[in-house]
Structure 1
Amino acid sequence: MTVTIEKPNRKNPTRYTRAPHKRSNREKFAWLFMRGSGVLLVVLIFGHLYFNLLTGEGIHQIDWGFVAGKLSSPFWQVWDVLMLWLALLHGANGMRTVVNDYVERQGVAKGLRIAIFATAGVLIILGTWVVFGFDPCSYPDAGSFAEICRA
């Protein structure tokens, strides 16, 4: 019994425009970044959940004053910004991989990649601005910070 496999019916075969002698390690570094950032994100996220939900009064302690207290500490600012940056870059790189795998038209793929990384860049800038620019004394009802802000 002989089995023949028919040639795939594909109208637009993928064309590789890169010359075969040019080698780039971009995909290797993207792959390594995904693994490294994934491991670091697990540590950062579970640390975030532990210190916010399992210490003190648990979820009942989270209010404006709790968040203001955390965002006034340089340690938690760096922790939150690192978590924000890694999560956005990890997600954007994952979406880039999906676009590379499933979008056949090069122009559409390039436009989607630009949109993905532009969105991630804007969110990184806004998130970093919020974390480092937060001033609990600039709010009229500063809660537990009212005594500190008046001094």
Structure 2
Amino acid sequence: MTAIPAPRSGGGRGGRRTNWEKWGWIYMRASGVLLIVLIFGHLFVNLMTGEGVSQISFGFVAGKLANPFWQWWDVAMLWLALIHGANGMRTLVNDYVSRPKVRAALKIALVGSTAALIVLGTLVVFTFDPCLGADEFPDLVLSICTA
């Protein structure tokens, strides 16, 4: 007969272990609240202030991405949303994939794709140059590029 260790006893491996499911659950709730604030702040500034939706253009986005406050706002939104979504997908994989090798492969693919999107998105936000290509398309150059 196999003995089942008591809850919160460390899983029977002699010592404390990190409960990743608990921390994943806590992350989903905390990131969800932060994402609501970040997303509705983003929507309010883009759609309700100034000229509303008609103000959104390449120049508007370029102007926002030139401001460090909005860079960090967008990066926080990007990181939280991607990790939140990846954690949700991890939960689905754990719940519905029964074969261990397939489950492991899907989790590796999930971590890899999330990491790649985080790196690429962060690079785009912090290295965005609205004047890139101004020589090839002079009729599309923003006024800030000619100065």
Q: TM-score, normalised by structure 2?
A: 0.84
CA-CA distance at 1:91 after TM superposition: 0.2
Aligned CA-pair RMSD: 1.4
CA positional deviation for 1:101: 0.7
User: Within 2, Cα distance between the matches of 1:127 and 1:111?
Assistant: 24
Q: Could you tell me which of 48, 63, 67 is aligned with 1:54?
A: 48
Give the distance between the partners of 1:134 and 1:99, measured in 2 at CA: 35
Which residue does the alignment assign to 1:143?
142
Cα displacement string for residues 8-31 of structure 1 (whole angstroms, at most 9, x for unaligned residues): xxxxxxxxxxx9414431111111
Aligned residue number for residue 100 of structure 2: 106
Take 1:103 and 1:143, find their aligned partners in 2: how far apart are those partners? Answer: 50
* 5+ long unaligned stretches in structure 1: 1-18
2:33 partner letter: V
Offset of 1:150 from its aligned partner? 3.6
- The equivalent residue for 1:71 is 65
3-state SS of paired residue (1:136): coil
Tell me, yes or no, if the aligned pair for 1:37 and 1:86 is still in contact at 8 Å: yes
CA positional deviation for 1:76: 0.2
Alignment of 1:4-15 (within 5 A): none
C-alpha separation between the residues in 2 aligned to 1:97 and 1:65?
Answer: 40
Contact 1:81 1:131 in 2 (8 A): yes
Q: Determine the C-alpha separation between the residues in 2 that align with 1:108 and 1:138.
A: 43
Which structure has the larger Rg over C-alpha atoms? Answer: 1
Find the counterpart in structure 2 of residue 7 from structure 1.
none
Q: 2:12 matched to which residue of 1?
A: 21
SS of corresponding position for 1:41: helix
Instruction: Please say if residues 65 and 144 of structure 1, whose CA atoms lie closer than 8 Å, have aligned partners that are also in contact.
Output: no
For residues 27 and 37 of structure 1, what CA distance do their matches in structure 2 show?
A: 15
| Structure 2 unaligned residues grouped into runs of 5+ | 1-9, 135-139
- Counting matched residue pairs gives 130
1:135 shift after superposition: 1.3
Where 2:18 maps in the other structure, the secondary structure is coil
